[in-house]
Amino acid sequence: MQLLKKFHLPAPVFAVTAMLFWGLSFIWSSVLLKYYQPITIIFIRLIISTAFLFAIIHFFWQDEKIQKKDFKLICLSALFNPFLYFLCENYGLKYSTPTIASVIIAMIPVFSPLIAFITMKEKLLPVNFLGIFISFTGIIIMLMTPNLSLAADIRGILFLSGAVLTSLFYSVTLRKLTAKYSAIVIIAYQNLIGIVLFLPLFLLFEFRSTVQVPLTGEIIISMLSLAIFASSVSFVFFAHSVKLLGISKSNIYSNLIPVFTAGFSYFLLSETFSIQKIAGIALVIGGVYLSERTKRFH
């Protein structure tokens, strides 16, 4: 983080920039899904991101390594994220739209208090339930058509719900690791383990189809952007904002992810937005915001 201090930027700039890149990640992934299957995208993304992060650690970071006694914990956290989370997120995105995917993923901060209550006995306030209810209402509005049929593929909804669930379990393991190690070191090792986990799946199911796809400028730009900005820079920036603002205040900015994704989807992917979808997005973001603000002031 010493390198970031040289820029002397306000703390919110780091948080907003991280959310901007995470919002764009749904756009870049959607572009790549036109050419590759989800496992290929994740596998290549992790290789580039891991190389980038370890290069930063080598040149700009202190000598920090994972202790042997924490190896099982880092492996478990890597199983949840990037392995299970990215599998669910990318397959969910394959069967939905960037906006729907980002809005469902934005439910993660809403359910965090439930996991904290179950695993760490943290107090759960009534307004947390209100935030969950409001956000769920927004999700239902977005996913239903006027004739009460699903507006999105059920497979996409189930995969994205799986991404939310695995992210919540991941947060439990991450909380223990951040007490001992810096964020960039944790993420670098998790991505490295993720490469090992994805390698057999890539070779078995997608290697042949992947090598048949000719590289284009769109593929290269989208993959590099996804790996460097969404998988690397965003995590470092967010970790720095947590250091400056704290966890609760930094999490407030996660409400911007669906907003960024929706905006870029409209301008770059020509995704259409009905009044119903806009209302659903507003309710989801409002529910998350209400839950987070309440945690700040209690």
**Mind listing the pLDDT tens digit of every residue in the chain (298 residues)?**
555 555 567 778 888 898 899 999 999 999 999 999 999 999 999 999 999 999 988 887 777 788 999 999 999 999 999 999 999 999 999 999 898 888 888 777 767 666 666 665 556 667 767 777 887 788 778 777 777 666 678 899 999 999 989 988 887 788 788 778 888 898 899 999 999 999 999 999 999 999 999 999 999 999 999 999 998 888 778 877 766 776 656 666 777 788 888 889 888 888 877 788 788 888 877 877 776 554 444 4
Give pLDDT, residue 292.
58
Q: Which of 283, 276, 278, 279 is nearest to 134 (CA)?
A: 283
What's the total number of domains in the chain?
1
Give pLDDT, residue 293.
58
Give pLDDT, residue 260.
87
- Cα separation, 118 vs 169, in Å, equals 11
Count of Cβ atoms closer than 10 Å to residue 203 Cβ: 12
> Could you give the 3-state DSSP secondary structure of residue 144?
strand
Beta strands in the chain (DSSP E): none
- Cα separation, 53 vs 59, in Å, equals 10
Which parts of 229-274 fold into alpha helices (H)? 234-245, 247-252, 256-268
Q: Are 135 and 191 in contact (CB under 8 A)?
A: no
Q: Are 295 and 111 in contact (CB under 8 A)?
A: no
Domain enclosing residue 39, as ranges: 2-296
Report residue 145 as tokens.
């058509």
Block residue for tokens 């995208």: 41
DSSP 54-77: HHHHHHHS------GGGHHHHHHH
DSSP 283: H
DSSP 152: S
Count of Cβ atoms closer than 10 Å to residue 204 Cβ: 10
Whole-structure pTM value: 0.83
> Could you give the 3-state DSSP secondary structure of residue 149?
coil
Indicate the residue type of 170: Y
> Could you give the 3-state DSSP secondary structure of residue 150?
strand
144 beta partners: 150
- Cα separation, 90 vs 38, in Å, equals 5
Block residue for tokens 């190896």: 71
- Cα separation, 171 vs 181, in Å, equals 15
Give pLDDT, residue 230.
92
150 beta partners: 144
Give pLDDT, residue 122.
58
